[in-house]
């Protein structure tokens, strides 16, 4: 576990310590007040009935009513503290869990149900706000009830101990027999939800190619496994819960019978007989409640275990010294990187340097590592070897939030987020300046296009930008990359969905970044995207083959046109 994760756990426990102490104190008072009913019953049988004293009955009734009111008040306070404790745990962990969920594809393969950490946190919060934890705080008070039963008569005490031992054994068996089924149910649910999310994200492909039925069959099989494991866990928990309830009722009646035997033999009073029966029922109630809530307890415990593993990779760190905004250079020093948890370098031994105002085009065959290099340049993939530096500072010397202000990135697959066009361009800043949003759109030459949308900048783009065309999403993504005048702008296949007007706008945007002193890196298959750059880097098999001025490099990679062949303006080896 990372140091930051350990510190977070310590901080979480420290912030909850006061609430846990308060719950323990209230639990003690509640369990002491639970004795009121038994003592009232004993006094009525042993004092009121023999003396036939109405004032004594009224006095005892007034006292027991007040004690019951205090008991209800304390129980209500304990429930509210549990609810707020669950909210506090959620507040402390939710941002880290969300950040881990967002970054999971960058650290692993991102397989399975990516929403599972958030579901685990919801499960923990729901368990804390439910009745299960109160039973756990009541369990330590069972010896008090057993001591009182022994004080009434040793035989009553031993009968109660025997019954309590059976119920404790049931609790342990419930835990052992439901743990595996609950864990398997979570895994099946993760598989089921992963299939559903993947089908939803690719709804167009599923519909166009008639894959809905086959994917539905896969989902149904995973759902059947989930239901089977859930049913197994419910059957075990429910069966032991029913048995424990019957056992507690039988034990209560057995204690009543033992008490009657003691009364017949003049070893106990009628009040002790009734009070001990009620007392035993109260003593074993936490065990029965714990068994009834054991499924939730196991789920919360397994969820916490998974969260600990997920949060162990949290790279949260203390804020480093703030560095000045980069203005001079981008340098790559024998750098190499690859896919998260991968075993091979996607790019390696890459070295070049760009000064402010320069533009670099990266070309090469498919699968040559161009997009991988782009991810390394913006810090999405950390450099496994070597360094990527802005003004001499390695990227890892920045916090992601700080570094992001100086970087504009347009990935190959442009994704917009549910919200307005303005929110997407402003990278969802809380209070962006309207003039900054408009300037970014103008720099991307997309301002006029946005004004023609139904609500202009306030148009809702839908989930993933579904309300826009591919070209519109790409151009708005370009405006987002240019927002805030970032020093380094990396564009991966920025013209894949653009028409001629869009390509001209892209060229003007690239030139605009260079004119204001920024650096632009453009990855392209079509030479038209390279009109605004002055340097070219040729990448092949993850390694740099050529680097230099655009005219020199392109002249060496252009394919000669056969005599008499029709001129092809795009016949450059830029695949």
pLDDT of residue 131: 67
pLDDT of residue 168: 76
Distance set, CA 402 to CA 123, 324, 433 (Å): 33, 10, 19
Rounded Cα–Cα distance for residues 259 and 274 (Å) = 8
pLDDT of residue 208: 72
CB 360 within 8 A of CB 521: yes
Bridge-based pairing of strands 359-363 and 488-492 is unpaired
Any residues with CB less than 8 A from the CB of 405 and at least 6 apart, and which? 325, 484, 486
Task: Tell me which residue has tokens 């390509």.
Answer: 503
Burial grade of 561 (CB within 10 A; 0-12, 13-18, 19 or more):
exposed
CB 331 within 8 A of CB 18: no
Q: What's 234-259 look like in SS3?
A: HHHHHHHHHHHHHHHHHHHHHHHHHH
Per-residue pLDDT tens, the chain, 575 aa: give them.
444 444 444 455 556 777 788 888 888 898 888 888 878 888 888 888 888 889 888 998 999 999 999 989 998 998 888 888 888 887 778 777 777 767 766 665 455 556 777 777 887 888 877 767 887 788 888 888 888 888 888 888 888 888 878 877 877 787 778 778 877 887 787 778 778 777 776 676 677 777 788 888 888 888 888 888 888 888 887 787 777 778 777 887 888 888 888 888 888 888 888 888 888 877 777 777 776 677 677 777 777 877 777 676 555 555 677 888 899 999 999 999 988 777 788 999 999 999 999 999 999 888 888 989 999 999 888 889 999 999 989 988 888 888 888 999 998 888 888 889 999 999 988 888 999 999 999 988 889 999 998 899 999 887 766 778 878 888 899 999 999 999 999 999 888 777 787 788 888 889 999 999 999 999 987 777 888 899 999 998 889 989 999 888 888 776 544 444 434 434 333 33
Q: What is the helix (H) or strand (E) element at residue 455, kind and residue range? A: none
Number of H-type helices and E-type strands within the chain: 20, 10
Cite the beta strand spans of 309-448 per DSSP E.
Answer: 329-337, 347-355, 359-363, 385-390, 393-394, 407-410
Rounded Cα–Cα distance for residues 284 and 141 (Å) = 10
Residue 433: left (phi > 0), alpha (psi -120 to 50), or beta? Answer: beta
The length of the chain is 575
Q: By C-alpha distance, which of 145, 150, 189 is closest to 167?
A: 145
Rounded Cα–Cα distance for residues 223 and 468 (Å) = 34
The alpha carbon of residue 289 and the mean position of all alpha carbons in its chain are separated, in whole angstroms, by: 30
* pTM of the full structure: 0.66
Question: Which token pair is 227?
Answer: 């239901």
DSSP per-residue letters across 307-335: HHHHHHT----PPPPPPPPP-SEEEEEEE
The alpha carbon of residue 297 and the mean position of all alpha carbons in its chain are separated, in whole angstroms, by: 20
Q: What's 123-145 look like in SS3?
A: HHHHHHHCCHHHHHHHHHHHHHH
Q: By C-alpha distance, which of 178, 80, 174, 200 is closest to 133?
A: 80
The alpha carbon of residue 526 and the mean position of all alpha carbons in its chain are separated, in whole angstroms, by: 39
Any residues with CB less than 8 A from the CB of 487 and at least 6 apart, and which? 325, 326, 327, 356, 390, 406, 407, 517, 518, 519
What is the number of other CB atoms lying within 10 angstroms of the CB of residue 528? 16
The overall longest dimension of the chain from CA atoms, in Å, is 127
pLDDT of residue 360: 93
Rounded Cα–Cα distance for residues 249 and 509 (Å) = 79
Task: Tell me which residue has tokens 């039925």.
Answer: 213
Rounded Cα–Cα distance for residues 10 and 375 (Å) = 35
Rounded Cα–Cα distance for residues 388 and 407 (Å) = 13
Task: Tell me which residue has tokens 């998974």.
Answer: 306
Rounded Cα–Cα distance for residues 254 and 273 (Å) = 11
Rounded Cα–Cα distance for residues 448 and 300 (Å) = 52
Q: By C-alpha distance, which of 66, 83, 63 is closest to 23?
A: 83
pLDDT of residue 10: 43
Rounded Cα–Cα distance for residues 481 and 518 (Å) = 12
């Amino acid at each position: 576990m990372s140091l930051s994760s350990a510190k977070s756990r310590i901080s979480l426990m420290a912030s909850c310590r006061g609430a846990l102490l308060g719950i323990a104190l209230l639990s003690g008072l509640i369990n002491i007040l639970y004795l009121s009913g038994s003592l009232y019953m004993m006094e009525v049988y042993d004092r009121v009935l023999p003396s036939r004293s109405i004032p004594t009955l009224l006095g005892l009734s007034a006292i027991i009513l007040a004690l019951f009111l205090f008991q209800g008040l304390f129980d209500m306070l304990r429930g509210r503290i549990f609810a707020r404790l669950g909210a506090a745990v959620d507040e402390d962990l939710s941002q880290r869990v969300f950040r881990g969920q967002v970054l999971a594809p960058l650290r692993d393969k991102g397989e399975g149900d990516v929403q599972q950490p958030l579901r685990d946190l919801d499960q923990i919060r729901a368990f804390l706000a439910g009745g299960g934890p109160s039973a756990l705080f009541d369990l330590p008070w069972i010896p008090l009830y057993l001591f009182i039963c022994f004080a009434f008569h040793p035989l009553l005490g031993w009968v109660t101990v025997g019954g309590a031992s059976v119920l404790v054994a049931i609790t342990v068996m419930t835990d052992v027999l439901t743990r595996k089924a609950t864990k398997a149910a979570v895994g099946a649910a993760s598989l089921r939800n992963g299939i559903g999310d993947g089908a939803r994200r690719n709804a167009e492909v599923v519909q166009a190619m008639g894959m809905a039925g086959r994917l539905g069959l896969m989902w149904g099989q995973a759902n059947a496994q989930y239901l089977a494991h859930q049913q197994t866990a419910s059957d075990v928990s429910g069966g032991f819960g029913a048995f424990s309830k019957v056992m507690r009722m039988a034990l209560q009646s057995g204690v009543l019978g033992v008490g009657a035997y003691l009364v017949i033999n003049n070893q106990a009073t009628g009040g002790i007989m009734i009070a001990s029966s009620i007392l035993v029922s109260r003593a074993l109630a936490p065990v029965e409640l714990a068994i009834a809530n054991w499924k939730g307890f196991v789920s919360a415990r397994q969820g916490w275990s998974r969260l600990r593993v997920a949060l162990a990779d949290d790279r949260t760190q203390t804020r480093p010294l703030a560095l000045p905004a980069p203005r001079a250079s981008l340098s790559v020093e024998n750098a190499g990187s690859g896919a998260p948890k991968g075993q091979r370098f996607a790019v390696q031994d890459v070295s070049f340097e760009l000064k402010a105002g320069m533009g670099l085009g990266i070309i090469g065959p498919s699968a040559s590592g161009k997009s991988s290099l782009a991810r390394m340049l913006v810090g999405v993939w950390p450099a496994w070897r070597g360094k990527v530096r802005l003004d001499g500072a390695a990227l890892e010397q920045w916090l992601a939030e700080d570094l992001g202000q100086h970087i504009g990135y347009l990935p190959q697959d442009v994704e917009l987020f549910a919200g307005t066009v303005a929110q997407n361009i402003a990278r969802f800043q809380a209070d962006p300046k309207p003039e900054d949003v408009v300037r970014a759109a103008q720099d991307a030459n997309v301002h006029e296009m946005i004004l023609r949308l139904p609500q202009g900048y306030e148009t809702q783009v839908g989930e993933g930008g579904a309300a826009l065309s591919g070209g519109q999403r790409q151009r708005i993504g370009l405006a987002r990359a240019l927002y805030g005048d970032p020093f380094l702008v990396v564009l991966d296949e920025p013209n894949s969905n653009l028409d001629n007007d869009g390509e001209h706008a892209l060229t003007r945007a690239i030139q605009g970044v260079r004119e204001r002193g920024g650096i632009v890196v453009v990855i392209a298959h079509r030479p038209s995207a390279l009109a605004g750059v002055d340097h070219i880097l040729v990448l092949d098999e993850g390694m740099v083959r050529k680097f230099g001025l655009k005219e020199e490099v392109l002249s060496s990679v252009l394919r000669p046109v056969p005599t008499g062949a029709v001129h092809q303006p795009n016949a450059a080896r830029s695949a």
